[in-house]
């Protein structure tokens, strides 16, 4: 399936995969990836099953899994013939002590990566060990242009911090993702010659790596999802439980990700 946007085409071209994975965060990007993968499977009458993986972010309650479940429910209603396997849910460590003792991991140019990233990787590897898949999709987008995010201020007129170069157009859309479990019990990116060790190979497809939120909003409009799928997603990354009604709503003006969402969707959007 090819879908055009003003920033380039989005191509999904698998046809005989038994299972494909999707990292589903509950945000608008991974939700549209999930939608397009379902649409591709349905339109081509594929037998491929989808395996969803979600990790709750420390200090953010169960927001990611709650919104991922809403997105999943919506998708099941709209694609009843698409096979979806049991949703893999996990939670990253909440306490500072847990974070301090977890290892860093070098993954796909993100260096150093933090334990939040590690936990997501761990979930993918452990899921892959019991239900193998050749490819999995993510919904990581490119950042807005600098002249846009340099205007992301909160209500106190402080400039907000975003993901900087973590999300960059220099990241490839397709990345080889081999992994193994080391003798200390930690997962690593890479290959090992030791046949005794748990290991695997897969391909990560960052389907939206070459586009930003403007193009993602175009996808929502193209498929007429702005009033349907979009309200089931949440993009806010604010740590404040009060401003976010305990991580159930957007803070709207106080975090970088809410600004990015507003920018992409246009100011007329009221979630
Ligand atoms: Zn926010």
What are the beta bridge partners of residue 20?
50, 135
pTM score: 0.91
Question: How far from 237 is each of 17, 18, 24, 54, CA to CA, in Å?
Answer: 34, 34, 15, 15
Q: Are the CB atoms for 91 and 75 separated by under 8 Å? A: no
Question: How far from 102 is each of 112, 190, 199, CA to CA, in Å?
Answer: 13, 19, 20
Q: Are the CB atoms for 102 and 93 separated by under 8 Å? A: yes
84 φψ region: left (φ > 0), alpha (ψ -120 to 50), beta (else): beta
* Topology (CATH level 3) of domain 2-265: Rossmann fold (3.40.50)
What residues have CB less than 8 Å from 163, skipping those under 6 apart? 143, 256
- Looking at residue 172, its pLDDT comes to 72
d(CA 140, CA 29): 7
What does residue 235 show for φ and ψ, rounded to 5 degrees?
-110, -15
How many Å lie between the centroid of ligand 1 and the Cα of residue 207? 24
- Looking at residue 236, its pLDDT comes to 96
Domain residue spans in the chain?
A: 2-265
How many Å lie between the centroid of ligand 1 and the Cα of residue 62? 16
How many Å lie between the centroid of ligand 1 and the Cα of residue 252? 5
How many Å lie between the centroid of ligand 1 and the Cα of residue 271? 12
d(CA 45, CA 63): 33
How many Å lie between the centroid of ligand 1 and the Cα of residue 10? 27
pLDDT tens per residue, range 142-168: 899 999 999 999 999 999 988 865 555
Q: Are the CB atoms for 223 and 35 separated by under 8 Å? A: yes
How many Å lie between the centroid of ligand 1 and the Cα of residue 269? 15
pLDDT in tens, the chain (271 residues): 999 999 999 999 999 999 999 999 999 999 999 999 999 999 999 999 999 999 998 888 899 999 999 999 999 999 999 999 999 999 877 655 554 454 444 433 333 446 677 888 899 999 999 999 999 999 989 899 999 999 999 999 999 988 865 555 556 789 899 999 988 788 888 999 998 999 999 999 999 999 999 999 999 999 999 999 999 999 999 999 999 999 999 999 999 999 999 999 996 554 4
> For the CA atoms of 73, 79, 81, 85, what is the dihedral angle to 10 degrees?
-40
How many Å lie between the centroid of ligand 1 and the Cα of residue 147? 20
């Amino acid at each position: 399936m090819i879908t055009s946007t003003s920033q380039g085409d989005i191509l999904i071209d698998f046809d005989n995969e038994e299972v494909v994975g999707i990292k589903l965060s509950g945000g608008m990007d991974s939700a549209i990836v999930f939608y397009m993968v379902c649409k591709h499977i349905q339109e081509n009458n594929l037998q491929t099953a989808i395996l969803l993986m979600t990790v709750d972010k420390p200090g953010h309650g169960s927001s990611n899994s709650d919104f991922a479940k809403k997105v999943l429910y919506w998708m099941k209603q709209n694609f009843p013939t698409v096979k979806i396997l049991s949703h893999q849910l996990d939670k990253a460590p909440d306490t500072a002590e847990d974070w301090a003792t977890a290892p860093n991991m070098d993954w796909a140019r993100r260096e150093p990566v933090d334990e939040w990233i590690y936990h997501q990787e761990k979930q993918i590897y452990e899921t892959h060990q019991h239900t193998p898949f050749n490819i999995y999709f993510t919904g990581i987008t490119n950042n807005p242009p600098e002249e846009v995010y340099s205007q992301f201020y909160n209500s106190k007129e402080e400039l907000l911090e975003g993901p900087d170069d973590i999300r960059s157009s220099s990241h490839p859309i397709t990345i080889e993702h081999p992994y193994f479990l080391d003798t200390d019990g930690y997962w690593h990116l890479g290959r090992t010659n030791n046949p005794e060790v748990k290991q695997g190979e897969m391909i990560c497809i960052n389907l939206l790596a070459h586009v930003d939120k403007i193009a993602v909003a175009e996808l929502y409009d193209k498929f007429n999802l702005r009033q349907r799928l979009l309200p089931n997603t949440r993009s806010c990354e604010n740590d404040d439980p009060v401003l976010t009604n305990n991580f159930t709503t957007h803070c709207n003006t106080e975090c970088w990700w809410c600004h990015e969402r507003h920018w992409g969707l246009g100011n007329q959007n009221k979630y």
